[in-house]
Amino acid sequence: MTKPLQDKVVMVTGASSGIGAATIAALLDVGARVIAVARRIDRLQALQKELGVGDDRVLPVKCDIRDEQQAQTLMNQALEWGGSLDGLINNAGLSRGGLLEKTQVDDLRVMLDTNIFALANLTRLATPELKKAQGTLINISSSVVHALIPGSAVYSASKAAVAAFSEVMRKELCASNARVVTIYPGMVDTEFFDGITDEKKKQSFDKLKESIDALQAEDIAEVILFALSQPGRVSLNEIVVRPTRQPI
């Protein structure tokens, strides 16, 4: 039986670790071809070597997607390599700071630039190809949108913006039979928390991860794969995935 993702071309951002790296492994396992995007090219190359695949199956691309020119160059490279684009997984995202009054302005800017501007701009560039391929756009938001927590004002706002952006894009793309899926992960045990600059906040997250048996990156990768593998008539528009023991 033909695999639904066999030889499909899928771009994954934030691909050097965590959910992105796990998603690449899952996609390759079902025969997809993957454009792996991150700022750490050494990590991408190490992942490619670890997975034992050649340049015909994975294209590692060093790119800071916040930079408009780099994003355009990335899309040009992707289309030259893959010939089309069947899926875009907007996974790159980060959190910085804590309580708003104690958060540095640079941390505010990097959250908004990464979590919403870069995602929206890359989607803008990918949209004509996704329409042609009747492909799938998957945006990674966060369950924090459904349980707003003090100390995460700008991060929560950026992820709520992702949710609103996704719903508008669903309406813009549905006539072309392209799908839009928003995934809202709860707590996942990845490097994501290493970038939190508020040490007290980071320590509280570390304790929480242990106490609730946090999700693994592979769990979210399987959800992404499930959404991508549905028949073309089926669009799983919103998926919330939390650890069973996460109360909020």
Is 155 assigned a catalytic role? yes
Q: Show the tokens assigned to 1.
A: 């039986």
Which amino acid, residue 147?
Answer: A
Please work out, in degrees rounded to the nearest 5, the angle formed at the alpha carbon of residue 174 by the alpha carbons of 173 and 180.
70
Question: C-alpha distances in angstroms, 72 versus 15, 64, 75, 79, 124?
Answer: 18, 11, 5, 11, 10
Catalytic residue among 9, 74, 155, 182: 155
3-state secondary structure of 10: strand
What is the three-class DSSP state of 150? coil
Residue 215 pairs in a beta bridge with 188
Reading across the β-sheet that carries 58-62, which strands appear in turn?
58-62, 33-38, 9-13, 87-90, 136-140, 179-185, 238-241
Q: Where are the alpha helices (DSSP H) in the chain?
A: 18-29, 41-51, 68-82, 105-112, 119-133, 153-173, 199-212, 217-228
Number of residues written out for the chain: 248
Question: What 3-state DSSP class applies to 202?
Answer: helix
Tell me how far apart the alpha carbons of residues 67 and 94 are, in angstroms, rounded to a whole number.
16
Active-site residues: which are they?
155
